[in-house]
Amino acid sequence: MMKILQLLLFCIVFQSASAQLNKSQFSEIDKIVKKLYSEGKLHGGILIAEGENIIYENAFGMADRNLEIPNSTKTRFIINSMGKMFTAILTLQLVEDDSIKLDDPISKHLPWFKHPKANEITVHQLLSHRSGLKGYFDEQIEGRLPFFISQREVLDKMAQLDLNFEPGKGYDYSNTGYLLLGEIIMKYRNADYYDVQRTRIFEPLGMTNTYNSTSIYGPGAPVYYLSDGNPATPFPHSNYRGDGGSKSTLKDLHKFMLAIGSDKLLKTESWDLMFTEYSFPDEATRPFGAHFFPYGYGCGFFELPYNNEEKAIAIGHAGAGYGSSDLMIKFKDKDRIIILWNNEYLNPMPMELFEELSKL
C-alpha cells in the first residue's frame, strides 16, 4: 500500500515538474514566438518565466522605423491598463491601514465628486467595475469629452452623466472608477499617485526601470505606431492618476509578478480579496475585450491552455492604447509568468502562444 502511495505521489510531482518549461526549450519557444512575429501577431517584447527562472526573453520589430532602431528587451514601454493592478494593491493597503473600508461610499472620501449616486457607489464597486460609471476614455473617443483637460475636470464632467446601471447591478469596465481610486489614494497618502506607486511598490520590489512621464513617450520608450503606419501623437492621457500609464520593462514587471500573492505588498487576506471573482461576462452591459473574462480587484481571470489538454487559470491584466498593447499574467498555483508588449496595436492575448507553449 505504501509503495502504491509513493508511486502516486511520484507521478503527481513528475507531472507537475514536466509541465514546467525550461531553458533547454529556448529554441522551440523561439520558433513559436518568431512565427507570431512573422504573422504580424507580435511586435515588441516578450518574457516567459517559471518563477524566478527566465526561460525566454526576446524582442522583435522596430522601436523607431525612421532611425532604424530595433526594439530590445530593455525597452521601456507604456503599460496602459496593466497599471490597474498597482491601483488595486495601493487601495487594499489603505484598507489594511484602516484608512478606508471596501463598503464605504465614495462620497465619504471624495465629497467634491458630486454625482447624484456617489453615496451609493462603494470602493468595492470601483475596484470590480460594478459602479455603473461611464468610462471617460469612451466619452473622449466619441467626441463628447475633450482630451486635453485635467483629471479633476474629467471627473467633474463624468459626475454629470447618468450611470449605465444602478451601482452593483452589472459589470462595465470603467477607467473613471480607477481615476477615483487614484484620488482616494492621493488623499490618504498625502502625496502624488506616482510617488505613492514608487515608494510603496516599485522601490520595495527593486523596479528601478519603472517610471511615469506626462506623455506616452519618455526615456527609453519606443515609437508607437497606429494601424495606418503613422506614429501616435503624444497626448497627456498618461498624466492621469489611477487607471494605468506608467512605463516599465519586461524584467521589472517580472519582479512585480513574482511578488503578487506575497507579503511584500499585501497580507494574505488582502490577496484573497483581490483574487476573488466579482464580475462575470454574462453581467456585462456591452461587448468589450475585458468583459470576456471574470474580474476581481484590478485583475482578470483567464482560462488558458497550460499543459497539453489541461487548462489553467491565469491572473493578471491586459492593456491597450494608441499604437500599443500589453499583457502580464501568472498562472494560479503555478510558476509560469508571461509578459508581453507591442508598439503597434495588436491583440494582447495571442491564443496561439498559449496553445503552442502548452504542447512543449
292-342 per-position pLDDT tens digit: 999 999 999 999 999 998 999 999 999 998 899 999 999 999 999 999 999
Please tell me the predicted confidence (pLDDT) of residue 148.
83
Average pLDDT over residues 76-96: 97
**Is residue 16's pLDDT more than 60?**
no
Q: How far apart are CA 253 and CA 226, in angstroms?
A: 25
Q: Are 344 and 296 in contact (CB under 8 A)?
A: no
The string of DSSP codes covering 172-226 is ---HHHHHHHHHHHHHHHTS-HHHHHIIIIIHHHT-TT-B--SSS--TTPPPPB-
Q: Are 42 and 350 in contact (CB under 8 A)?
A: yes
Q: What grid cell was written down for 179?
A: 481615476
Q: Are 55 and 48 in contact (CB under 8 A)?
A: yes
Q: Which has the closest alpha carbon to 329: 128, 129, 127, 82?
A: 82
Q: Which of 111-115, 180-184, 227-231, 266-270 has the lowest mean pLDDT?
A: 227-231
Q: Where are the beta strands (DSSP E) in 117-177?
A: none
- Residue 320 parent element (H or E): strand 310-321
Q: How far apart are CA 77 and CA 348, in angstroms?
A: 14
The model's pTM: 0.93
**Is residue 248's pLDDT more than 70?**
yes
Average pLDDT over residues 181-192: 98
The chain-wide mean pLDDT, for the chain, equals 92
pLDDT band of residue 7 (cuts 50, 70, 90) is very low
Q: How far apart are CA 346 and CA 350, in angstroms?
A: 9
Burial of 27 (0-12, 13-18, 19+ CB in 10 A): exposed
**Is residue 156's pLDDT more than 50?**
yes
Q: pLDDT tens digits for 86-95? A: 999 999 999 9
Average pLDDT over residues 101-123: 98
**Is residue 4's pLDDT more than 50?**
no
Average pLDDT over residues 109-134: 98
Q: How far apart are CA 230 and CA 227, in angstroms?
A: 7
Q: How far apart are CA 334 and CA 257, in angstroms?
A: 12
State residue 186 phi and psi, 5-degree precision: -65, -35
